[in-house]
Each structure stands twice: as structure tokens, then as C-alpha cells.
Structure 1
Amino acid sequence: MFLPNAHEEKDTAVLLQFIRENPLGLLITGVKSSQDFLQCTHVPCVLDFPEESGESAPNGRLRAHIAKQNPQVKGIVEALENKPNVLDLDDNVLVIFNGTHDHYVTPKYYTETKPDTGKVVPTWNYSAVQVYGKLSLYYDSKTPEAGAFLHKQIRDLSQHTEESIMGYMGGDKPKAWTVEEAPEKYVELLQRNIVGIEIRIEKIQGKFKMSQEMRVGDREGVAEGFAAMGGGDGEGAFEAGQGARFVARCQKAVEDTTHGE
């Protein structure tokens, strides 16, 4: 990831929280096999913070599951000659998490530089976090290790997405759906057709590209421009919630860089 100083986020706690809030990761592997060398799969992940991960993963870990028939899984299994209960890749894998919202930035928003010199071009603002780490594949759900891993992972993921993403906490809101509401035999059947993924985090990087490198008036113009998109043609893109958080990040970029000048 290209990380200009103005865009890089170095606070690990902020990056880990970003993953918690945006759990759909893009898992990328490069494995020599009869499958394509480069493979990627979108996977919702459970993040265990460092304090939850123990000595085996001092930087935290990701837990996920994907279909056993996925070519990415087939390539990993094929590449490893020995087939223990848990398959470990020697090389790092990469997981990319994108923010809930990103958007094109028109030069019209650069309200200081455009009328001054005209030296402005379009860009795209976004936020992303990428993780490098060691992958373990829990392949056979009939083994105790894989069975226990998958049993916990699918329940932890369901709880996180139901409660944190959907807000189903009970009270004035609906109760969260639980795995136990599905027929046991049905869950067992599905579990036999998935594999568990564990990634022990070795490096984490984050980029919040919110026009921080621009002049103060331009940054304000970008934040105001996005904020004004709450109605009319922009309503679909900047409805309450997702768009509001994106605008807040842009406004924070204005405040942070203004205070530093």
C-alpha cells in the first residue's frame, strides 16, 4: 500500500477498531498449484484483539470461514504435501478491509486552489486497512481441532454481525439471531462444506485518504461538498449513517491538519 505521511494512520488501536467496524475482508494468497497463482475471496472476519489472542498471536488474529470448494482452498491444500489436521502456509497472506464509504472528489470542491490557480484534478477519497499474517487452514471439520474452531467462529461471527453491525441488542430493538435457531442437522451439513481460516497478524497498515494534503480551503470545500450531498442526487450515496461517517472523517481531516498549521 502506498502510504503518504498525510494519509497514513499509525495508531494500531484505530486500525483494529476499523476492522471491527468493517469486517468484510478481501483475502489474497499467492500459492503455486494447478489453480491460478493469485486467488482472492471476500470473507467476513472475526477480529481478536492482541489481549484476546494470547502468546500465539501477540498482534491479534483474524478468524473466518470459506467454502471448501473454493479454488483458493483447493490451491492451498494441493500445495501442501503433508496433510495434518491444521494446514499452515509458510508465506504471508494479505487481507484488505475497505471503509464503509468512499467517493469520487470533483475538482469543484477545491474552493481555494481552483479559483486561485486552476491547478486541480479529480481524485478518490477512501479508507482502508491491510493486514499481513500467517494463515492456518482448518480443513476437516470432523477433526476435533477444526470442529471446535468452526463451532466457535461461526457463532462469534454471527454475534458480532447481528449485534455490532445490525444493532440487534434486544430492548427497543430486535434480539440478535443465533446459530441455534437453525436446525442442528442443517448447520452440521453446512459446516462439513466449509473450512476455517485463522490469520495471526504480523503487520497492519492503514490509510485514510481524506484530502489531508490539500490547502485548508480545499479541505473545507471537500467536507462541505460531501455534507451537502445528503439530499437530491446524492441521497442514495450519502444517506444517514454510512455517508455521515465518511463526511465526519473528511471534517476530521480538516480539523487535524488545521491544528497542525
Structure 2
Amino acid sequence: MYLRAVHAEAQIAVLQQLIRDNPLGILTTAIKSPLYPLIQSSHIPFVLDVPETTDGSLSNGVLRGHMAKQNPQAKALMEALAAQQEQGNASLELSDEVLVLFNGPHHHYVTPKFYTETKPATGKVVPTWNYAAAQAYGKIRVYCDSKSEETTTFLQKQIEELSNQSETSIMKYSSPWQVSDAPVSYVDLLKKNIIGIEITIDRLQGKFKMSQEMGQGDREGVIKGFEDLGTDVGKGIADMVKERGDLKDNK
């Protein structure tokens, strides 16, 4: 990701909130395999844990998710773990780094017509695209042995907390659906067909590309242009352009 200074977000807490608000991440791996593609990606909803640190600083956090065992990417992960364990390494953590990309709720094409200051003055404007995103890099742990208590415990915790997060934070239900509402035998069967993944975030980076590079007059034109679209996405972009522009001006 190109992190131009005017767009880059350096505050870890802000990027963590973007992840919490938009938990559907894109997991990308590059695992050498004789059977599966080198580079694979999957959309996976994540739970973000932020453990306390001994020095009181804010940790980057830990991402937890799960995938179907039939997913070719999951198969490549399991294959890599088996090969590692055959070499005498009992760790569940793979040596290769992985990437998880999270996108903000709104993105949109920006027409040069919105630049009401620069376009009529010089014409030196071109189209672009506004968006927000965070990228998390780290090592991945793979929980795939359905006979292991460690895997069973991880998956139970994962599906319960992910369901609760989605039911309360996304759906806003005061009486959320719970995993315990489904038959235990049914849930146990489903757990045998998924793997758990856990990524300790080593690097967390992100950006809010929301017209901060433009002058105030052009930003006002962008805000009005998106508001005039009369759509939820347009309003979302307009609000973010104003918020990010104000932050830039107040620095």
C-alpha cells in the first residue's frame, strides 16, 4: 500500500477501530505448494483482540478467524503446517508472513468536476478514487487438528465471540442469536469442517485517502459533489472528507 504522508494514519487505535467497524478482512498468503496456487486470498470476518502490554503501550493486536477446510487456501495452510511438523517443529505458527487487508465502509470515484477551485483556474486536475483501508502483517497460527483440545477450545471461543460481535455490533440486537441456540451435535459437526487462524499483528498500517491533498476550496467542492449524489455512500464519503480535511487543517 502506498502510504503518502498526507493520507497515512499513524494512530494504531484509529486503525484498530477501522478493523472493528469493518471486520471482513481479505487474508492473503504466499505459500509454496505443489498442489495449490502460490498466492491466495479469502474474505474472512475477524475478531480483533488487543492484549495489554507490560509497559502500558498499545499493542497492534491479534486477529482471530476461521475458514472452511475445503477452501484451497486453508488446504495450503494445513499442508504447510504438516510439512513443518514432519521436520520436528511442533509449533502451530508458520514461518511465512501473511497480510490481512481491511477496507473502510465507503469508497467512490472522484470526478475532476468536483474540484471547483482548481479546475476552472488551471484545469490541472485528474480523476481519482477515495477510500480508507488498513493492512495488518504478521505470522499465522493454524488450528486444524479436530482431535486436539487446543483446537476445539480455540474454535469454540472463536465462533462464539465472532457471532456475538456480529449480532451486537453489526446487527445491534439486544437479544442476540447465540451459538448455544443451535444443537451441540450440529455445532460440533461444523467445527470439524473448519480451521481456526490466529495472526499476531507485527505491523499495522493504513490510510484515509479522502482528498486531503487538495486545497480547502476543492475539498468543499468534493463534499458538496458527494452530498448532491443523494446516496448513503455519497454522504459517507462527504462526511469523511470533511473530517479528514479538518484534521489536516488543525495540525
Shift of 1:199: 0.2
Note closer, same or farther for the CA distance 1:20–1:187 as it changes in structure 2 (3 Å cut). Answer: same
Query: Matches of 1:99 and 1:107 in 2, distance apart?
Result: 23
Partner of residue 45, structure 2: 44
- Alignment of 1:248 with 2:249, yes or no, is no
Shift of 1:243: 5.0
Query: Matches of 2:195 and 2:221 in 1, distance apart?
Result: 48
- Alignment of 1:78 with 2:79, yes or no, is yes
Do the aligned partners of 1:85 and 1:139 also contact (CA within 8 Å) in 2?
Answer: no
Query: Matches of 1:51 and 1:213 in 2, distance apart?
Result: 36
Shift of 1:185: 1.4
Find runs of 4+ consecutive structure 1 residues off by over 4 angstroms: 83-86
Do the aligned partners of 1:90 and 1:134 also contact (CA within 8 Å) in 2?
Answer: yes
Do the aligned partners of 1:86 and 1:137 also contact (CA within 8 Å) in 2?
Answer: no
Query: Matches of 1:181 and 1:151 in 2, distance apart?
Result: 14
- Alignment of 1:213 with 2:218, yes or no, is no
When the two chains are superposed, the root-mean-square deviation of aligned CA atoms in Å is 2.2
Partner of residue 4, structure 2: 4
Partner of residue 99, structure 1: 104
AA aligned to 1:206 is: G
Query: Matches of 2:16 and 2:194 in 1, distance apart?
Result: 26
Shift of 1:211: 0.7
Matches within 5 A, 1:65-214: 65-80=66-81, 81=83, 82=85, 87-169=92-174, 175-214=175-214
Note closer, same or farther for the CA distance 1:104–1:176 as it changes in structure 2 (3 Å cut). Answer: same
Query: Matches of 2:51 and 2:129 in 1, distance apart?
Result: 32
Query: Matches of 1:88 and 1:223 in 2, distance apart?
Result: 46
Query: Matches of 2:53 and 2:74 in 1, distance apart?
Result: 27
Do the aligned partners of 1:141 and 1:150 also contact (CA within 8 Å) in 2?
Answer: no
Shift of 1:252: 1.1
| SS of the residue 1:72 aligns to | helix
Shift of 1:247: 2.4
Query: Matches of 1:19 and 1:27 in 2, distance apart?
Result: 13
Alignment coverage as a number of residue pairs: 245
Do the aligned partners of 2:111 and 2:127 also contact (CA within 8 Å) in 1?
Answer: yes
AA aligned to 2:41 is: C
Shift of 1:225: 1.2
Q: Deviations over 1:137-181 (max 9, x none)?
A: 001122100000000000000011110011112xxxxx2111111
| SS of the residue 1:9 aligns to | coil
Shift of 1:87: 2.7
Q: Give the structure-2-normalised TM-score.
A: 0.91
Do the aligned partners of 2:94 and 2:140 also contact (CA within 8 Å) in 1?
Answer: yes
Query: Matches of 2:187 and 2:5 in 1, distance apart?
Result: 47
Partner of residue 62, structure 2: 61
Unmatched 5+ residue regions in structure 1?
A: 170-174, 231-237
Q: Which moved more, 1:221-230 or 1:114-123?
A: 221-230
Do the aligned partners of 1:52 and 1:60 also contact (CA within 8 Å) in 2?
Answer: no
Query: Matches of 2:225 and 2:115 in 1, distance apart?
Result: 9
| SS of the residue 2:224 aligns to | helix
| SS of the residue 2:129 aligns to | strand
Note closer, same or farther for the CA distance 1:117–1:229 as it changes in structure 2 (3 Å cut). Answer: same
Do the aligned partners of 1:61 and 1:198 also contact (CA within 8 Å) in 2?
Answer: yes
Shift of 1:52: 8.6
AA aligned to 1:72 is: Q
Shift of 1:58: 4.5
